[in-house]
C-alpha cells in the first residue's frame, strides 16, 4: 500500500489529519500537501460531525490548527478566530486552554505574530462584525484574553448603562420630591407663562424644572415648572438656571427682562421675593441631596417636604413676604 493509499484509507476511516500524521510518523503539513497534490478525497471526519463523541484532543490537533492559522495570516489572509461559544464546543475551548498553557494565551500567541498579527480577526458578539484582534480590550480573566465585544461596543454599552442609570435616578428623585402635577396644575402653569418658551417665545417647548431634579431639590409643581424651548432645556440640563442664563443670553439673543419676569413669577408661586428665590436656588445647588437624604428629610416631616421649607430651616429665613400659605399649603394638603 502506498503512502497515498494509506492516507486515503485513514481518512475514509474518519480520522483527522493530525491523527494520520502522527500515525504515519509524518509532519501534518506533509500529509496536508500530499492530500492536495494527490487529489485525495477528503470526507468530513466522523468525529468532526459528532464533536461530543470525541472529547479528547491531543496536542497535534491544536498545533495543526495553529500552524494553519499562522501560515494563512503570514500569507496575508484574514484568519477569523472562532469563539468558544458554548460548552459543547470542546475543541475551541480546548484549544484556548492549550494556548494558555503553552503560549500564555491566545492574545500572546497572536501578538507574537508581530507584523502580521493584524490579520487575526475575532467576531464581536455585540455588533457581530469581524474585527482585528487589536480592537478588543484585554481581559486577562477570560480564556481568550479579550472581551467578547469589540472596544467600540464595550464603551457604547458602558455609556448606555450610565445613561440608563441617570434616567433611573431622575425617576427616583421625581418620585420622592414634591409632585403636584395634575392636568389642572399644568393648565395653570401654561396660563401663567403661555404656551411658548417663556424666554424666547419659540415653539416646541418642554415643561422644564427650574431647579433640576438632579440636585435632589425642587420637584414637579407649580413654582418649579415653566415652558422652555426644548433645545435650551437640553442645553441647560443640570446647570444652575441663573448661571446658565448669564452664560448664554447673548449667544441665544435672550432678553434679560424675560428671565427677570420668570424669576419673579416663580418666586411668587413659592411665596418668596425674587432675591430670596435666587438665594434659595443657589442654596439648592450648594446643598445637593441624594435619594437617601431626600427620604430622610421626608420621613422627618412625614410628607414630601419642599426645598423652600428646608432652605428656611437651614438658613433661618423668616417669611418676609408674609405669605406662608403659598408654597407649603398645597403640599400639606396633598400629603394629608
| Rounded Cα gap, residues 218 and 305, in angstroms | 10
Least distance CB 146 / Zn ion (angstroms):
12
Kindly tell me the burial class for residue 235, based on how many C-beta atoms sit within 10 Å of its own C-beta (0-12, 13-18, 19 or more). Answer: middle
How many residues comprise the chain? 336
Least distance CB 78 / Zn ion (angstroms):
17
Q: Which stretch binds Zn ion (CB under 5 A): 50-58, 122-130, 160-168, 297-305?
A: 122-130
Nearer to Zn ion, 150 or 205 (CB): 150
Least distance CB 135 / Zn ion (angstroms):
8
Nearer to Zn ion, 35 or 150 (CB): 150
| Rounded Cα gap, residues 287 and 175, in angstroms | 19
Nearer to Zn ion, 153 or 199 (CB): 153
Residues touching Zn ion, count (CB under 5 A)? 5
- Interior/surface letters 208-231, b for 16+ CB within 10 angstroms, e for the rest: bbbbbbbbbbbbbbbbbbbbbbee
> Under a CB-based contact definition with an 8 Å cutoff, are residues 67 and 21 in contact?
no
Nearer to Zn ion, 71 or 129 (CB): 129
Kindly tell me the burial class for residue 95, based on how many C-beta atoms sit within 10 Å of its own C-beta (0-12, 13-18, 19 or more). Answer: buried
Least distance CB 132 / Zn ion (angstroms):
12
Least distance CB 131 / Zn ion (angstroms):
7
Nearer to Zn ion, 122 or 213 (CB): 122
| Rounded Cα gap, residues 193 and 269, in angstroms | 12
C-alpha cell at 94: 480546548
Applying the rule CB under 5 A, the residues between 143 and 182 that interact with Zn ion are 150, 153
Least distance CB 154 / Zn ion (angstroms):
8
Which of helix, strand or coil describes residue 212? coil
- Check residue 127 for interaction with Zn ion (CB under 5 A): yes
Applying the rule CB under 5 A, the residues between 13 and 72 that interact with Zn ion are none
Rg (Cα) of the chain, in Å, rounded? 35
Question: Which chain residues interact with Zn ion by CB under 5 A?
Answer: 124, 126-127, 150, 153
Amino acid at each position: 500500500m502506498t503512502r497515498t493509499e494509506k492516507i486515503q484509507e485513514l481518512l475514509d476511516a474518519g480520522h483527522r489529519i493530525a491523527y494520520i500524521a502522527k500515525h504515519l510518523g509524518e509532519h501534518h503539513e506533509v500529509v496536508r500537501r500530499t492530500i492536495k497534490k494527490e487529489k485525495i478525497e477528503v470526507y468530513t471526519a466522523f468525529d468532526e460531525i459528532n464533536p461530543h463523541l470525541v472529547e479528547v484532543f491531543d496536542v497535534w490537533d491544536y498545533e495543526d490548527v495553529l500552524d494553519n492559522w499562522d501560515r494563512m495570516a503570514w500569507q496575508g489572509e484574514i484568519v477569523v478566530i472562532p469563539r468558544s461559544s458554548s460548552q459543547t464546543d470542546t475543541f475551541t475551548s480546548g484549544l484556548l486552554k492549550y494556548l494558555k498553557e503553552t503560549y500564555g494565551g491566545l492574545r500572546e500567541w497572536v501578538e507574537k505574530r508581530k507584523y502580521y498579527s493584524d490579520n487575526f480577526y475575532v467576531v464581536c458578539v455585540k455588533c457581530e462584525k469581524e474585527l482585528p484582534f487589536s480592537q478588543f480590550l484585554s481581559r486577562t480573566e477570560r480564556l481568550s484574553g479579550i472581551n467578547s465585544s469589540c472596544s467600540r461596543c464595550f464603551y457604547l454599552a458602558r455609556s448606555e448603562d450610565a445613561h440608563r442609570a441617570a434616567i433611573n435616578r431622575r425617576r427616583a428623585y421625581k418620585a420622592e420630591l414634591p409632585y403636584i402635577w395634575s392636568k389642572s396644575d399644568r393648565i395653570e402653569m401654561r396660563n401663567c407663562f403661555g404656551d411658548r418658551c417663556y424666554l424666547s417665545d419659540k415653539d416646541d417647548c418642554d415643561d422644564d424644572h427650574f431647579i433640576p431634579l438632579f440636585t435632589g431639590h425642587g420637584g414637579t409643581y407649580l413654582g418649579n415648572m415653566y415652558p422652555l424651548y426644548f433645545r435650551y432645556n437640553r442645553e441647560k440640563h443640570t446647570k444652575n438656571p441663573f448661571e446658565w442664563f448669564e452664560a448664554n443670553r447673548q449667544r441665544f439673543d435672550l432678553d434679560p427682562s424675560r428671565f427677570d419676569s420668570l424669576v419673579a413669577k416663580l418666586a411668587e408661586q413659592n411665596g418668596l421675593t425674587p432675591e430670596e428665590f435666587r438665594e434659595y436656588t443657589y442654596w439648592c445647588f450648594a446643598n445637593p441631596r441624594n435619594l437617601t437624604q431626600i427620604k430622610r428629610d421626608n420621613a422627618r416631616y412625614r410628607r414630601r417636604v419642599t426645598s423652600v421649607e428646608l432652605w428656611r430651616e437651614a438658613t433661618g429665613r423668616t417669611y418676609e413676604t408674609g405669605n406662608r400659605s403659598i408654597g407649603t399649603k398645597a403640599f400639606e394638603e396633598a400629603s394629608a
